[in-house]
Amino acid sequence: MEYFIKVASYSVLNATSNNLKLGFWEDGVLGEGDEPYTKPDISDDDVIAYAWQNIWEWGVANRAYKLANAGYKVVLSQATHLYFDMPNEPDPEERGLYWASRFTDSFKTFGFMPDSVYDNVDVKRSGESYTKSELCQTDGACTPLDKPENILGMQGQLFSETVRTKQDLEYMIYPRIIALAERAWHKGAWEATSGAGGNMDLRDKDWSEFAAAVGTKELNRLHDLGIEYRIPLPGIKQMISANETGPTITCEFPGLEIAYREVGADQWRTSVCWSILPLAVNKDYEFKTVSFGRESRTMKATIQMINPPTPQTTTSGYQRVLGLSRLYCIWFSFLSYSLTINMI
């Protein structure tokens, strides 16, 4: 392989006077023991390596830094955060592959920290939690970056095995590419904090501002350009407590409109995001997000009450409701794509 790379490089560079630059996926310049080929043997000029393989539990996240230290100009292309052929959410109806990540949404791409690759460790492919300390406990797994000047930038990718139409392409790219651009062009204050994930409180605040800008401005621009971006599904709080008037409806990008109706009804009602809907308990409803005449997929949910109060007769003949000292609420939100149990 190394011989082929050397011969091919020589042929390309000497067959033209157009000042071509060589670029390889990382696989093309890594040899035995996962070590980079000696760069001067390939070219004395800049050689670009696109570092993509960083599945954390495989112990290869150090490739980007090993290549940079060896003199290659590196473009960060990490599959766990920057491959847009992964699904937008862990749903069987979402287009995409899952060999690198079960899902990659805009928030995950937004949270990528290009200046500190190992601090992006979050989960294994299976979804199990995985930490930087677990990654780095293997000798050599967290090679330090000695030549940061060799990191050129970052890049998003979309391989088209599951893409059949222009609409499919735009669905997979937008609006995730806006999150990619934000991270490539702007370093958030939260990134400067040492540790896995950076300062998550600052990151979440930054995300809230970014998401609002996308929902109220950038999606308008994409619409004007005729781009059929993905419209995210709404999130709905399916389990409510006795003192709540209804479930809260959420959306990934503020500014989008939510439509809902009881299953079987003809008329859709609309609501803004992050509002409480006057829905009846133990009935089936349909929900979707609407944007400029287009809409997301439709999801169904049944609103249920947690531990509904049990009437009991007191000695005076009146009825009272038993006090519930420990209530739990299950929040199912497509913003986090997880099932979280919270005590309230």
Q: 235-309+321-343 domain in CATH 2.60.40?
A: yes
Q: State the Cα–Cα distance between residues 121 and 114, nearest whole angstrom.
A: 12
Rounded mean pLDDT of 329-344? 32
Residue with tokens 């003949």: 317
Can you say how many angstroms the Cα of residue 206 is from the centroid of all Cα atoms in its chain? 15
- With 0-12 / 13-18 / 19 or more C-beta atoms within 10 angstroms meaning exposed / middle / buried, residue 71 is middle
DSSP state of 47: E
Question: What confidence category does residue 2 fall into, taking pLDDT thresholds of 50, 70 and 90?
Answer: confident
CB atoms within 10 A of CB 27: 12
- Is residue 191 a contact partner of residue 198, using CB atoms and an 8 Å limit? yes
Question: What confidence category does residue 124 fall into, taking pLDDT thresholds of 50, 70 and 90?
Answer: very high
Q: State the Cα–Cα distance between residues 125 and 309, nearest whole angstrom.
A: 42
Is the pLDDT assigned to residue 10 strictly greater than 90? no
pLDDT at 312: 52
8-22, 24-38, 252-266, 310-324 — which is least confidently predicted? Answer: 310-324
Q: Is 50 helix (H, G, I), strand (E, B) or coil?
A: strand
pLDDT at 46: 84
State the distance between the two ends of the chain, measured CA to CA, in whole angstroms: 60
pLDDT at 16: 58
pLDDT at 41: 77
Rounded mean pLDDT of 283-298? 95
Which residues are CB-contacts of 119 (< 8 A; sequence separation ≥ 6)?
113, 132, 194, 195, 196, 197, 198
Strands in 73-76's sheet, in edge-to-edge order, are 22-25, 47-51, 73-76, 151-154
Q: State the Cα–Cα distance between residues 3 and 25, nearest whole angstrom.
A: 17
| CATH class for the domain made up of 2-224 | alpha beta
φ/ψ of residue 61, rounded to 5: -70, -15
Q: State the Cα–Cα distance between residues 5 and 11, nearest whole angstrom.
A: 10
In the chain, how many H helices and how many E strands? 9, 18
Residue 74 or residue 330, greater confidence? 74
Which residues are CB-contacts of 6 (< 8 A; sequence separation ≥ 6)?
41, 42
Is the pLDDT assigned to residue 155 strictly greater than 50? yes
Is the pLDDT assigned to residue 334 strictly greater than 50? no
Rounded to the nearest integer, the mean pLDDT of the chain is 86
Question: What confidence category does residue 141 fall into, taking pLDDT thresholds of 50, 70 and 90?
Answer: very high
Show me where the domains of the chain are located.
2-224, 235-309+321-343
152-166, 212-226, 304-318 — which is least confidently predicted? Answer: 304-318
Is the pLDDT assigned to residue 197 strictly greater than 80? no
- The pTM score is 0.84
